[in-house]
């Protein structure tokens, strides 16, 4: 698992040059998807106050945004539905991330090859991760996919992949991890809450140094979830409820 974590950290370091934002014009082609953007902003409100989460700003709905978003969902459903059988996903190189962490809200099955490819181009049929939830009777239910981009990817580039007016790309920031040679410190807690990781209170280099940890200003790079298999409701498809269960240990 340490090797996978280290690999993903390296894969997340992009080499894209920044680009300026382009002007947007209103889009009236799909009011339903436009309403989804409003719901997405509401869903993400709590995440904005999270010191361990950074998100792209909401852009105005531009001409073609709704059509592009709907086309992406259709493409995912038409081509990636085979991964509803998690055994097919595993056979195609998707490996469960943090297999020893139980009761996760969302389980990520990550493909290392796709993670590398995402640094250089966007392939909607090669997501970095498949997203699953535990089924009531056991097993896994496919709910969506996750795409990744390097931390230096510009907003224009992110918008070209998934419209920023419809959904928010997010990145994990300000993580304090335990010393590499003391993994047992993952269990450190204060008032019943973890000291380290994305659920801990430490969000600055100074506080992390005081705790004897390792500080990461940015982890993994940009990510976006598309919950294409969860519902036909755009608010669910583009919602932010499934963004909070990434790495908790190495």
Residues 64-88: tens digit of each pLDDT: 999 999 999 999 999 999 999 999 9
Residue 56 lies in a domain: yes
Q: What percent of the chain has pLDDT over 90?
A: 59
Q: Which domain holds residue 160?
A: 2-11+32-173+221-237
Question: Residues 148, 223: contact at Cβ < 8 Å?
Answer: yes
Q: How far apart are CA 134 and CA 140, in angstroms?
A: 5
For residue 141, being part of any structural domain is answered with yes
d(Cα 90, Cα 35) in Å, to the nearest integer? 36
* Cα–Cα nearest to 8, from 115, 106, 124: 115
Q: Is residue 245 part of a domain?
A: no
pLDDT for 104 equals: 86
Which pLDDT score, from 0 to 100, does residue 77 have?
98
In a domain, 179, yes or no: no
Residue 166 inside a domain? The answer is yes
Predicted pLDDT at 198: 86
CB contact set of 211 (below 8 Å; sequence gap of 6+) = 176, 195, 196, 202
Q: Count how many domains the chain has.
A: 1
Give a yes or no: residue 125 inside a domain.
Answer: yes
pTM of the predicted model over 0.95:
no
Work out the percent of the chain whose per-residue pLDDT is above 70. Answer: 76
Task: Calculate the average pLDDT of the chain.
Answer: 80
Say if 203 falls within a structural domain. no
CB neighbours of residue 81 within 10 Å = 12
Task: Work out the pLDDT band at 39, boundaries 50, 70, 90.
Answer: very low
Inside any domain, residue 122: yes
How does residue 199 score in pLDDT terms, banded at 50, 70 and 90? Answer: confident
For the record, the structure tokens of 27 come out as 């889009």
Query: What mean pLDDT do residues 4-28 have?
Result: 34
> What is the tens place of the pLDDT at every residue in 106-155?
999 999 999 999 989 999 999 999 999 998 888 899 999 999 998 889 99
| Exposed/middle/buried for residue 27 (C-beta within 10 Å: 0-12, 13-18, 19+) | buried
């Amino acid at each position: 698992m340490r090797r996978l974590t280290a690999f993903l950290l390296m894969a997340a370091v992009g080499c894209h040059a920044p680009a300026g934002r382009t002007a947007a014009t209103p889009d009236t082609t799909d009011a339903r998807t436009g309403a989804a953007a409003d719901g997405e902003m509401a869903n993400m409100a709590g995440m904005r106050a999270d010191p361990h989460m950074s998100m792209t700003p909401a852009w105005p709905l531009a001409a073609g945004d709704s059509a592009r978003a709907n086309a992406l969902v259709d493409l995912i459903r038409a081509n990636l539905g085979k991964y509803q059988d998690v055994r097919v996903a595993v056979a195609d190189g998707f490996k469960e991330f943090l297999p020893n962490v139980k009761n996760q809200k969302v389980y990520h099955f990550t493909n290392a090859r796709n993670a590398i490819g995402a640094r250089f181009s966007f392939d909607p049929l090669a997501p970095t991760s498949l997203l699953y939830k535990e089924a009531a009777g056991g097993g896994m239910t496919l709910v969506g996919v996750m795409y990744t981009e390097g931390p230096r990817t510009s907003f224009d580039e992110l918008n070209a992949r998934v419209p920023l007016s419809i959904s928010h790309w997010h990145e994990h920031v300000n993580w304090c991890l335990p010393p590499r040679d003391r993994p047992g410190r993952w269990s450190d807690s204060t008032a019943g809450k973890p000291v380290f990781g994305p659920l801990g209170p430490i969000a600055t280099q100074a506080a992390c140094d005081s705790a004897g940890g390792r500080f990461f200003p940015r982890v993994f790079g940009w990510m976006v979830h598309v919950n294409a298999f969860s519902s036909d409701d755009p608010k669910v498809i583009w919602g932010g409820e499934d963004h909070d269960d990434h790495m908790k240990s190495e």
